[in-house]
Structure 1
Amino acid sequence: MAAPIVVQPPSRTGGRRVTVGGQILGLAHSDADVIEFLRRAGLPDAEGLLDDPVWVMWRGGRAHQYEAA
């Protein structure tokens, strides 16, 4: 089963699109942005999920990196 939260590769201008179940939550420029998007989506303990591959898939680039390569 794929992780329900996907953090897409950094865009050319910086930031990463965050999706949950295919629904776009926003463009994150930091872990704090991702946590806020997930909190608004109903996951109040999102901070502890960022490094859990069962919950979050980081595509392209390194996890927690938001700048364009």
Structure 2
Amino acid sequence: MAAPIVVYPPAPGGGRKVTAHGETLGVAYGLVDVIEFLRRAGLDIATLDLYDEDLIDWRGGSPEVWGPRAGG
């Protein structure tokens, strides 16, 4: 079974699209954004494991990969 949440590879300008069950939640520029999107989608962020591969499919890099940042 595929993970219900997908965090796509970083875009050339930075940020990663986040979807849940195929519905776009937004573009995240860091883990705080991902957590907020998932909170708004109704997940319990107190027990959330961002490394749970059954929950989140991190495509194009781990939770530490976000692409280019302004100024460097």
TM-score normalised according to structure 2 size? 0.85
% of aligned pairs identical?
53
Structure-2 residue corresponding to 1:53: 53
Unaligned runs of at least 5 residues, structure 2: none
Aligned pair count reads 68
**Residue equivalent to 1:4:** 4
**CA–CA distance in structure 1, aligned partners of residues 15 and 23 of structure 2:** 17
Deviation above 4 Å: which 4+ runs of structure 1? none
2:48 aligned counterpart, secondary structure: helix
User: Are the counterparts in 2 of residues 35 and 47 from structure 1 also a CA contact under 8 Å?
Assistant: no
TM-score w.r.t. length of structure 1: 0.88
**Largest Rg, 1 or 2:** 2
* Alignment partner of 1:66 is 2:66: yes
What does residue 29 of structure 1 align with? 29
1:38/1:46 contact within 8 Å kept? no
Root-mean-square deviation (CA, aligned residues, Å) is: 1.5
SS at match of 1:49: coil
Q: Which has the higher helix share?
A: 1
